[in-house]
Amino acid sequence: MSVTERKPWQRDELMLAINLYCKTPFGRIHVRNPAIIELAELLGRTPGSVSYKLANFASIDPSLDRKGASNVSRLDRETWNEFYKNWDEMAFESEQLSAKIHGNPFQDDSIELPIGKTREAQVKVRVNQNFFRQMVLSSYNFNCCITGLPLTELLVASHIKPWAIDEKNRMNPRNGLCLNALHDKAFDKGLITIDENFKVVVSSHIKNSSQPQLGLIQNIHGVSLKVPNRFRPDPELLDWHRTSIFRG
């Protein structure tokens, strides 16, 4: 083992590892993953060291039934808890660290605002929304959780409880579902919901219609959600959707 491998992990390095953990499908946490190899090179560590660190985070991730490695340091746990309890701030900080280490500082010329706090807030929203999308889609292995559609261009990281009304859960990955664009819109408008057994329920407004064009939505009634290993949808948030958004 090299001298660099023996050096203790620092908080910024752990933030980068958690960032990668959140974006990596659970089955791809291994030494051959190009993203793990790249981060290892940037940190001056081995792919084995980085993949083992991601496995450590899996072992303390409360959203996982299946556990990973158990050699978790105090700083591992402290950094994880800091991240998990404040997704909004920590996601943005970790994305800043990632941009810096990759030599790609944040630039967004599409935001037509003068430099200042307002512009910074808009940049943060854009960065966090992108992080949320990557986190949710990777948890579902880039497949729609209802239809299995694997075309990333047509997939949406759909909020169970909308971004606009729940600041606390805006970045919570358990507030997300990976849906194709059609069923994302239907979910957002309360035309479908998910029951306590993770099955799709279609509104009677749609289900009882005789219009054949609505078959794409009618046909998913009773379909079991493809629930991910990690960041399973929060039952309390789904219950909120059923009682507050679903049109019955």
Burial (Cβ within 10 Å: 0-12, 13-18, ≥19) of residue 186: buried
Alpha carbon of residue 114 to chain centroid: 31
- Say whether pLDDT at 139 is over 90: yes
Instruction: Tell me the pairing of strands 192-194 and 176-180.
Output: unpaired
Task: Report the alpha-carbon distance of residue 234 to residue 119 in Å, rounded.
Answer: 32
User: Kind and range of the H or E element at 108?
Assistant: none
Report the share of the chain in percent with pLDDT over 90: 78
Task: Report the alpha-carbon distance of residue 55 to residue 48 in Å, rounded.
Answer: 10
The whole-number pLDDT of residue 80 equals 96
Assign 197 a pLDDT band (cuts: 50, 70, 90).
very high
pLDDT tens sequence across 37-70: 999 999 999 999 999 999 999 999 998 876 555 6
pLDDT mean over 135-156: 97
- Say whether pLDDT at 117 is over 70: no
Q: From residue 176, how far is each of 21, 55, 132, 147, 165 by CA, in Å? A: 17, 22, 8, 16, 14
The whole-number pLDDT of residue 236 equals 97
Q: Where are the domains of the chain?
A: 3-102, 127-244
How would you classify residue 104: left for phi > 0, otherwise alpha for psi between -120 and 50, otherwise beta? beta
Let me know the angle formed at the C-alpha of 237 by 219 and 65, rounded to the nearest 5 degrees. 90
pLDDT mean over 183-190: 97
pLDDT tens sequence across 154-169: 999 999 999 999 999 9
pLDDT mean over 198-226: 94
- Say whether pLDDT at 4 is over 50: no
Task: Report the alpha-carbon distance of residue 58 to residue 66 in Å, rounded.
Answer: 8
Task: Report the alpha-carbon distance of residue 139 to residue 95 in Å, rounded.
Answer: 18
- The SS3 assignment for 135 reads helix
Task: Report the alpha-carbon distance of residue 170 to residue 88 in Å, rounded.
Answer: 7
- The SS3 assignment for 152 reads helix
